[in-house]
Amino acid sequence: MKVLLLPLFQFPTGHSKVAKTLQDNIQSQYPDAEIKVVDFLAYCSDKLEKLVSGIYLKGFLGAPFLYRALYYTIMYKQHPFKLQPDLQVLSYYFERKMQKFLDEENPDLIFCTHSFPSGIISSLKQKGRYRDVTVVNVYTDFFINDIWGKRGIDFHFVPHPEAKEKLIRKHHIPDEQIFVTGIPVHSAYHLPVPFKKDNRIRHILVAGGNSGLVNCDFIDAMRKVPHIRFLILCGNNDELYSSLQALNSKQIEPIGYIDDPFEMNQLYNKADAILTKPGGVTISEALQKKLPILVHTSLPGQEEINLDYLLEKNLVLVINDKHLAEQLNNEEAILSLRKHIESYLAKVYCPLDYAIFISIKSTGRKTPETVHSIRAIPTLK
């Protein structure tokens, strides 16, 4: 059995983290499977991938309002290539490249963790190609944009019941093809959480340091809550790491890039809350760890759409520098977050193992002996 995992971009993103989660899950259950993680843009052209990823990063962080306009223009038009004749050439180019790629790889099963490859494959399947290949959309945000393929896609791993209802109501996708798995997170985050004596916040994990969350105003605000220690993830931002280390503060602990989910899980276990931007995967990891989630800022585009949903469900608390101390000491608000998180998790009712098992079974290939170790839950959908 050959499995392709299709995120987008070569730098670390939520899409690539979910692809890695799926890869580890499949490999552990089906050790004989051949699994490849491929950035389709890089396959088309390394120069193209660098160009698009550069525009994405500069626009996302450097010109957020321009990025917002571009995001909504592209992601929320029905068949945008058809509505914009000047982009039809690009559509044709990517379809030809995808066809060449799939012919070379000859996969049995494809998991798309980004809407771009999903939309292209959906278009090819509607034209009668690759109908014997099982294709799965694995959504990595708390919403579904219009670029994701719907027709010709065999299964959908959705973040919550509302997303399932939308696919059924708006796109007429059969109930049995949709699994409410939540946004998939690594098995490391499913390990038991150590018991804590009380609900007071003593350690806060700051997960947005690398994207500009930690600035002078925020550092001043942190110093006003001296009883709390801030564990700040700096990613690959060596300049931020060095500047925080130079503060020589017992209250602030800078942390470099972490790639190992089990190491990251230890940080989650140490934390009593997380301060982050509303990215789908980081939020889902925090939900799985049942951590109160604090949001300082969100960037236009997918983050603001995620935040709207999270606020509607009372799963996050928006904070600001001026009232940081007051908000962190609000035990009633923190307790309310914990209760809503518990309620939300109860609605994500389909184990990822089971959804993957059904996807693999649908390929028509004989499943490996390891299938017996998977929790078979026939009544789940």
Give residue 280's Cα distance to chain centre: 4
Q: Are 185 and 284 in contact (CB under 8 A)?
A: yes
**What does the alpha-carbon distance between residue 345 and residue 188 come to, in Å, rounded to a whole number?**
17
Write phi, then psi, for 260 (nearest 5 degrees): -85, 115
Q: Give yes or no on whether 2-182+348-373 and 188-345 have one common fold.
A: yes
Write down the domain spans for the chain. 2-182+348-373, 188-345
Start-to-end Cα distance in the chain: 24
| CATH class of the structural domain 2-182+348-373 | alpha beta
Question: What's the CA gap between 130 and 122, in Å, rounded?
Answer: 10
HSE (side-chain half, CA atoms, 13 Å) at 109: 24
Which tokens go with 147? 């670029």
Residuewise pLDDT in 10s, the chain (381 residues) = 999 999 987 667 788 999 999 999 999 999 999 999 999 888 887 787 677 766 666 655 666 677 777 777 777 764 444 444 445 657 888 899 999 999 999 999 999 999 999 999 999 999 999 999 999 999 999 999 999 999 999 999 999 999 999 999 999 999 999 999 999 999 999 988 877 766 677 899 998 655 556 677 777 888 888 889 999 999 888 888 898 899 888 899 999 989 899 999 999 999 999 999 999 999 999 999 999 999 988 877 888 999 999 999 999 999 887 788 888 888 899 999 999 999 999 888 799 999 999 999 998 643 444 333 333 444 444
Overall fold of domain 188-345: Rossmann fold (3.40.50)
